[in-house]
Amino acid sequence: MEALRCQVTELEQKLAGEAEPEIVLQAEACKALQISDRTLQRHRQHWLEGVHWWREGISDLPLYNLPLIRDGQRQGFDSPAHLRVCEVWAKQQPSNQISHQKKKGR
């Protein structure tokens, strides 16, 4: 159990140190993960949309978050440790940051 906590802490620190995760297109994801396009599409059905992958832009092509996908492969996508890493990643995204700016009075 202690080894698992160390791995989670390590991954949290790694994710916290990255300005942006390694986000790639489908072809790059297939190459990095050493799987076919079809296998990637099958896996995508079980991954969290908006965390492991999402669609963006006019082309609507799927983008893949390689660090979180690799973490899920190592720890299991449904494991509490992996889900915690996903939560940490999501909280770090600019769209989830709370603005602490004070409103100016009249």
Q: Does 33 map to a domain?
A: yes
- Tell me what pLDDT residue 99 has: 63
Q: Does 88 map to a domain?
A: yes
Question: 10 pLDDT exceeds 80?
Answer: no
Q: Does 70 map to a domain?
A: yes
Average pLDDT, integer, range 2-19 = 67
Average pLDDT, integer, range 10-22 = 63
Q: Does 11 map to a domain?
A: no
Q: Does 78 map to a domain?
A: yes
Three-state DSSP at 23 gives strand
CATH of the domain at 83: 1.10.1660.60
**Residue 59, phi then psi, degrees to nearest 5:** -70, -20
Q: Does 62 map to a domain?
A: yes
Q: Does 2 map to a domain?
A: no
In the chain, the percentage of residues whose pLDDT exceeds 70 is 80
Would you say how long the chain is, in residues? 106
Q: How many domains does the chain have?
A: 1
CB neighbour list of residue 46: distance below 8 Å, 6 or more residues apart: 77
- Give residue-wise pLDDT tens across range 53-65: 999 888 889 999 9
pLDDT bucket at 83, cuts 50 / 70 / 90: very high
Q: Does 29 map to a domain?
A: yes
- Tell me what pLDDT residue 42 has: 96
Q: Which domain holds residue 27?
A: 17-92
Question: 84 pLDDT exceeds 50?
Answer: yes
